[in-house]
Amino acid sequence: MDATTPYALTAAAAEAPTAVAAPDLPDRPAVVELRLSAYKAHRGVVFPIGPLTVFTGPSGSGKSSALEAYAALSRLAGGAPLDEVFPDPSACVPERARPDAERRRGFRIGCTVDGPLGEVRLDLAVQAEPELRVVGERLTGGGQILLSTALRDPGRRTVQAAWHTAGAVPVTRAPLPDDLLGTALLPLRVAGKTPGQRLVLAAAEQALVALRSVFACDPRPERMRAPVPVGEGRLRGDCGNLAEVLRRTRSECAIRHGVLVEACRAGCSGPVADLTAELLDDGMVRAVLDRGERGATPIGRLGDGELRHLALALVLLTGPGVLEMDHVAEVLPARQAMTVLADGFDRCLDPRQARELLALAARMGERGHVRLVGAVRDGALAAYAGGLEGVSVVDLGA
């Protein structure tokens, strides 16, 4: 693959890694930078990602595609194959990207993860045409390339990988599948016997933990109104099973439920004394607002904005054990920072509801409970977000 193509990564040999001392209290790995070198409408851009990041800009400015790239990296880190993550890969190629002599076009995305090892960078080059495949990947930490892959033989469905060992053989080379993220395969391929191998594994773990701790959320009010069957109590990304999750969370944590009721009170019209979930005679579950002296209101009667406000507040106040996400079970929760991706964050919300949710997200972010990356259309809301402590506003219309 020629480095002049818009999606190629240059392979480079790396020197032997140096030892990295772990701090006494390890930081939670978190994505602090999203790079879209060549992806849809984006070329050569780097977006800072903080505890609360708000993308804003006019329609077509690339807010959704930035969040899509973030979500794609998350799914690849969880082991999903390329064709599941990119069902329409040609749509990811920048419009004016010209094919090379072999009619190949593609895209490049990447991120930086901060954590116990300092900054770890992951960059990925994907060929979209004429067939979908990884053509290059690079994992970098401590100023050194710890893993690099490159397409050597287009006739084979593999890439040639090289990673550090810093032992008798300084670099280990082996083929890896061209439809999976190589970094996600390292824990299965690297023994961890030498300092170099342990550094590679630590860098891979840092990147994977940060990327896998993601919940992509887009509440759909039309799916939240009807009663739902009792399930395992894990909230889906569309929040369609909100009622059965409320039935679980209400009994598991009274303090958090009280905060949720307060958030519901701020986002719903009329009095709100409590938020409950009723088990109906047919075995279905229905969520209900307790209006005090005014009786009860099934949430199916709420407006779209009220339902989205309630669902997003629930997401911000729960965690990986409640949300239907790729929970990193092998890593202690204290070492993970969950990130919520919310495209169209302010959709259907009035300004008051949106401000209340952003303020809640900022409070939860300060406590290290959750990080939020959202896209909003309302410029006034983005300006309000910019006034909150610890909030990063990315204006794509500037």
- Rounded CA gap, 52 and 178, in Å? 34
Per-residue pLDDT in tens (0 to 9) along the chain, 398 residues: 333 333 334 333 223 333 333 333 347 899 999 999 999 999 999 999 999 999 999 999 999 999 999 999 999 999 999 999 999 999 999 988 888 888 999 999 999 999 999 999 999 999 999 999 999 999 999 889 999 999 999 889 999 999 988 777 788 999 999 999 999 999 999 988 888 999 999 999 999 999 999 999 999 999 999 999 998 889 999 999 999 999 998 888 889 899 999 999 999 999 999 999 999 999 899 999 999 989 999 999 999 999 999 999 999 998 888 898 875 555 555 567 889 999 999 999 999 999 999 999 999 888 777 899 999 999 999 999 988 888 899 999 87
Q: What is the pLDDT of residue 330?
A: 52
Give the pLDDT of residue 105. 96
Q: How far apart are CA 104 and CA 58, in angstroms?
A: 32
Provide the CB-side half-sphere exposure for 303 (13 A, CA). 13
Q: Are residues 86 and 191 in the same domain?
A: yes
316 and 203, same structural domain? no
Say yes or no: 300 and 385 in one domain: no
Quote the pLDDT of residue 9: 40
Work out whether the CA dihedral 155, 157, 163, 167 comes out positive or negative: negative
Residue 180 lies in a domain: yes
Please indicate, yes or no, if residue 152 is contained in any of the structural domains.
yes
Could you tell me which of 202, 182, 302 has the C-alpha nearest to residue 242? 302
Q: Rounded to whole angstroms, how far apart are CA atoms 196 and 247?
A: 48
| One domain, residues 111 and 243 | no
Task: Say yes or no: 87 and 25 in one domain.
Answer: yes
pLDDT of residue 15: 32
- pLDDT at res. 88: 97
Q: pTM of this prediction?
A: 0.89
pLDDT the model gives residue 334:
56
- Does 218 fall in a domain? no
Q: Using CA atoms, how far apart are residues 355 and 159, in angstroms rounded to an integer?
A: 47
The helix (H) or strand (E) run that includes residue 203 is helix 195-212
Which of 279, 296, 324 is a domain's end point?
Answer: 324
Q: Taking each helix axis from N to C terminus, what angle separates 63-77 and 195-212, rounded to the nearest 10 degrees? A: 130
Residues 304 and 257 in one domain: yes
The CB density around residue 81, as the number of other CB atoms within 10 Å, is 14
Q: Which of 324, 339, 356 is the last residue of a domain?
A: 324
The owner of tokens 């307060």 is 262
Examine the domain organization and report whether 151 and 300 are in the same domain.
no
pLDDT at 321: 83
Residue 131's CATH number: 3.40.50.300
Q: What is the pLDDT of residue 7?
A: 35
Are 228 and 209 found together in one domain? no
Q: Are residues 88 and 194 in the same domain?
A: yes
Residue 22 lies in a domain: yes
Q: Tell which of 305, 324, 343 closes a domain.
A: 324
In contact, 150 and 159? CB cutoff 8 Å: yes
| Domain presence at residue 219 | no
Nearest partner of 125 among 7, 251, 245, judged by Cα: 7
Domain boundaries, position 228: 224-324
**What total number of domains does the chain contain?**
2
Residues 361 and 292 in one domain: no
Q: Let me know whether 177 and 300 are in one domain.
A: no
Say yes or no: 232 and 159 in one domain.
no
Residue 262 lies in a domain: yes
At 19 the pLDDT is: 35
CA 215 distance to own-chain centroid = 6
